[in-house]
């Protein structure tokens, strides 16, 4: 069964450093997403991406964050200058359709620890 893969599974970084989290969505999907979950809190939406541009983003997704689809298979989330409060589990998702009938398929997540 096709799946979304995320690398690395755990990333440790120093405050102020840049990190790039990588995702390979399901190959025929067109819609891509990033979510995060701070320990003990809800899974929160960050951004959605379609047709090589951001289609929706939350208040969390400020200028420190960016997304890119650098080639036909990868989808990346970059945090320019990490803060302690960026420590969280980051989930990538993809879907073949949009709207509230579309199922989103999630990766296993990248745990980001900012020291």
Partner 1 sequence: GNSVTQMEGPVTLSEEAFLTINCTYTATGYPSLFWYVQYPGEGLQLLLKATKADDKGSNKGFEATYRKETTSFHLEKGSVQVSDSAVYFCALSANTGNQFYFGTGTSLTVIP
Q: Where on the chain is the footprint of partner 1 (CB under 8 A)? A: 3-4, 6, 31, 33, 35, 37, 40-45, 48, 55-56, 58, 91, 93, 95, 98-109
- Beta carbon nearer to partner 1, 64 or 108: 108
User: Minimum distance between the CB of residue 4 and partner 1, rounded to whole angstroms?
Assistant: 6
31 and 94 Cβ atoms separated by less than 8 Å:
yes
Residues 6+ apart with CB under 8 A from 62: none
User: Minimum distance between the CB of residue 61 and partner 1, rounded to whole angstroms?
Assistant: 11
Report the distance separating Cα 43 and Cα 89, nearest Å.
9
């Amino acid at each position: 069964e096709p799946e979304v893969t995320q690398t690395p599974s755990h990333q440790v970084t120093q405050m102020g450093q840049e990190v790039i989290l990588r995702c390979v969505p399901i190959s025929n999907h067109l819609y891509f997403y990033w979510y995060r979950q701070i320990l003990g809190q809800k899974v929160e939406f960050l951004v959605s991406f379609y047709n090589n541009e951001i289609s929706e983003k939350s208040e969390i997704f400020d200028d420190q964050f960016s997304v890119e689809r650098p080639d036909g298979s990868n989808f990346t989330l970059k945090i320019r200058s990490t803060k302690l409060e960026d420590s969280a589990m980051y989930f990538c998702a993809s879907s073949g359709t949009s709207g509230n009938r579309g199922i989103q398929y999630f990766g296993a997540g990248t745990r980001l620890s900012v020291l």
